């Protein structure tokens, strides 16, 4: 049971390049989330999904797209990277029921946009 | 909308000192409250939680009590260790919110030997 994994761990992009961040969870959770973490800002929700085939906007969705084609995977895309998207990105999945009510986080992807 | 305000850091303590990190919240309805911890270079881990008023969450010597009358969920530990050095995040989940969490900005704790 690997929990939540993220690929890649670190990436450097040039302005205007595109990339996809992959999040995978093996816990059969319905809900998945993408956050970004910036100094002094805490974690801010980018997009989330309440089940396979669904996505919804979070607090800071502009410049990002997501897809949830399979229940275990949640992809975050940057179509045209900007320096303002330099950040650490965290994926999480949510376990409900049985009193657990816990979000499980991946280890993060550090992205630098030059 | 929902919001979380937590004590700004950084906080620097000596080993065995008492720790308090303040957290207050604004939310409609009856939110669930959480403390997450982030060790250097890692993702966030749930430290403790409370789902209704007057509940006390506890784990690894840390405690926090859900105070509805003061809309607070302060984190405390009686005797900190060097290994407690991390960033601590207070968070809430509002009722009926698709289980989205709203986070505070985080408090960096450094414990010196």
The pLDDT tens digits for A36-45 are: 999 888 899 9
Nearest to A31 among B42, B99, B103 (CB): B99
Cα separation, B95 vs A84, whole angstroms: 32
A76 and A20 Cβ atoms separated by less than 8 Å: yes
Contact B43 A107 (CB under 8 A): yes
Per the CB < 8 Å rule, is A106 touching B43?
yes
Residue B77 is predicted with a pLDDT of: 98
β-pairing verdict for B86-93 and B32-38: antiparallel
Q: What is the pLDDT of residues B4-56, one digit of tens each?
A: 999 888 999 999 999 999 999 999 888 999 999 999 888 899 999 998 899 99
8 Å CB contact of B99 and A90: no
Closest chain B C-alpha to A39 CA, distance in angstroms = 8
Position A98 pLDDT exceeds 80: no
Which one of A4, A48, A108 has the shortest CB-CB distance to B100?
A48
Percent of chain A with pLDDT over 70: 96
Band the pLDDT of A101: cuts 50, 70, 90: confident
Q: Is A83 helix (H, G, I), strand (E, B) or coil?
A: helix
Query: Which residue of A40, A94, A106 is in closest CB contact with B99?
Result: A94
Over range A17-43, report the average pLDDT: 93
Tell me which chain A residue has its CA closest to the CA of residue B8.
Answer: A40
Q: Give Cβ neighbours of residue B94 (< 8 Å, ≥ 6 apart).
A: B2, B27, B28, B29, B31, B100, B102
- The mean predicted confidence, pLDDT, of chain A is 92
């Amino acid at each position: 049971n690997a929990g939540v994994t993220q690929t890649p761990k670190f990436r450097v992009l040039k302005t205007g390049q595109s990339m996809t961040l992959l999040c995978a969870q093996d816990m059969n959770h319905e809900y998945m989330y993408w956050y970004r973490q910036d100094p002094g800002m805490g974690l801010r929700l980018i997009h989330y999904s309440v089940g396979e085939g669904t996505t919804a906007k979070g607090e800071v969705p502009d410049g990002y797209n997501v897809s949830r084609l399979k229940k275990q995977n949640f992809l975050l895309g940057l179509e045209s990277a900007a320096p303002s998207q330099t950040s650490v990105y965290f994926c999480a999945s949510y376990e409900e029921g049985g009193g657990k009510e816990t979000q499980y986080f991946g280890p993060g992807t550090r992205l630098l946009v030059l | 909308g929902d919001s979380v305000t937590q004590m700004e850091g950084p906080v620097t303590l000596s080993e065995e000192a008492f720790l308090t990190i303040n957290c207050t919240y604004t939310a409609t309805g009856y939110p669930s409250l959480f403390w997450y911890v982030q060790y250097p270079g890692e993702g966030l881990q749930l430290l403790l939680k409370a789902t209704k008023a007057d509940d006390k969450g506890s784990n690894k010597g840390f405690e926090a009590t859900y105070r509805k009358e003061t809309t607070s969920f302060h984190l405390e530990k009686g005797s900190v260790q060097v290994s407690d050095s991390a960033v601590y995040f207070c968070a809430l989940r509002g009722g009926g919110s698709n289980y989205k969490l709203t986070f505070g900005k985080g408090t960096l704790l450094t414990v010196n030997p």
